[in-house]
Amino acid sequence: MGVVSCSGGEPLVAEGPLTRMRFGATAGASRASLRVFDSATHAEARGALERGAATVFAGYYASRRWAFSLAMGALLPGKLELTWPDHAEHLTLSPGFLAAASASYVLANEAPSTPFVLTAMTLGVGVNDATPESGGASERMIAGDVRLSITAGKTFAEAFRPYASARVFGGPVLLGARATGTDRYHVQPALGLAVILPRGFDVFAEVAPAFELAVSMGLGFAPGR
């Protein structure tokens, strides 16, 4: 959800009930490669999962190093393609619901000659329905995710903050009661840019170019900045 306010080197400009908060919204899309196993026969399929998401979030800065956030939103329509040894399935994904909680810790504050470095853990879950394109009953699909990341970045001209992240993650993808899957690679590198705007606003964009592919963008607002 962006690291625009997580350098650890920004003093609050005011004190009050909301000065430790950050609010915002994000939108993005992703493509993941899966390994999927039939629950009855244990046959393995190659899976390709494509979908978008839109979320709102609220974050709280407990200290100059610790921050916590909650996010919730909608999964946008997508598709799931499964290639089994003897046949292929093409499933349409309906709109659904997602929620996530995260905690981050600043390992190193930004200084004039050094970047900020932070680590984070995120727990998330998404729920929607999958329907065969050829017709048939829908199945509930539930995807869980536990994600650990490390991020480093630097602020230029007091406004532009490029950053790089490396993430490892895991979690099940449950397709009804008949199949269980997981990501094929469990890693995701990402590059992003946040731009700090006047009056506490910021915008950010990020691309993950390998393994779990993703692109996202968003808007944030920190009343205390």
Write down the mean pLDDT value for the chain.
Answer: 92
Cα dihedral across residues 83, 214, 125, 137: positive or negative: negative
How far lies 175's CA from each of 33, 83, 134, 151, in Å?
15, 14, 17, 32
Distance of CA 19 to the CA centre of its chain: 25
Is the pLDDT assigned to residue 9 strictly greater than 60?
A: no
pLDDT at 136: 86
Structural domains in the chain? 21-221 (2.40.128.100)
If you ran DSSP here, which 8-state letter would residue 3 be given? -
CB atoms within 10 A of CB 49: 24
d(CA 190, CA 203): 17
Q: In the chain, what is the greatest distance between 2 CA atoms, to the nearest angstrom?
A: 64
Range 201-223 burial, b when 16+ CB lie within 10 A, else e = ebbbbbebeebbebbbbbbbbbb
Counting residues of the chain whose pLDDT is more than 70, the rounded percentage is 92
Is the pLDDT assigned to residue 184 strictly greater than 80?
A: yes
Q: Predicted confidence band at 15 (pLDDT cuts at 50, 70, 90)?
A: low
Please answer whether residues 172 and 179 qualify as being in contact, where contact means their C-beta atoms are separated by less than 8 angstroms. no
Token pair of 53 as six digits: 């998401």
pLDDT at 135: 84
Does this model's pTM top 0.85? My answer is: yes
pLDDT at 19: 86
Q: Predicted confidence band at 1 (pLDDT cuts at 50, 70, 90)?
A: very low
Token pair of 13 as six digits: 């400009």
Conformational region of residue 2, where left means phi above 0, alpha means psi within -120 to 50, and beta covers everything else: left
pLDDT digits (tens, 9 = 90+) for 85-107: 999 999 999 999 999 999 999 99
Q: Predicted confidence band at 143 (pLDDT cuts at 50, 70, 90)?
A: very high
Of 20, 28, 21, which is closest to residue 1 (Cα–Cα)? 28
d(CA 139, CA 129): 5
